[in-house]
Amino acid sequence: MDLTEERFCLNCGAALHGRPDKVFCNTRCKNEWHNRINGDEKRRRERVFGILWNNYKILETMLELQEHTPAISSLEDAGFRPGYITGFRKLRGRNEFRCFDITYNKTEARLYNIRRAPELL
Ligand SMILES: [Zn+2]
């Protein structure tokens, strides 16, 4: 077993000395690394949530306008991103998509049956 294996700081890449479980050279490196990782995660979470929220507002508008079978292409023109959903299930052979408390079915070209979902148990 090689006990002299070189290890490097996760943050700055400097060679580490001392305890074998050490992963950062010092507290500053540890804090910088955690801030960077948490920052990336926060930005990603905010970006994805922003897309879902935009989808939700578009679906709400469809409900208000009683637009029952909007073309996906026109929704996409308004910023709708069909790949972003909060839930999915097969119900009586049909694919049911969910965006928070709004559910819908879809064909290749259109959404249909857009509705407020009953509360989930
Ligand atoms: Zn370091």
Ligand 1 center–CA 32 separation, angstroms: 9
Look at residue 57 and give its three-state secondary structure: helix
What are φ and ψ of residue 91, in 5° steps?
-130, 120
Q: What is the pLDDT of residues 92-119, one digit of tens each?
A: 899 999 999 999 999 999 999 999 987 7
Residue from 7, 10, 31 nearest 18 by CA: 7
Ligand 1 center–CA 23 separation, angstroms: 8
Show me where the domains of the chain are located: 27-116
pTM of the model: 0.74
State yes or no: pLDDT of 33 exceeds 80: yes
pLDDT of residue 4: 63
Token pair 């879809």 is at which residue? 106
Distance CA 21, CA 6 (A): 12
Ligand 1 center–CA 35 separation, angstroms: 14
What are φ and ψ of residue 53, in 5° steps?
-65, -40
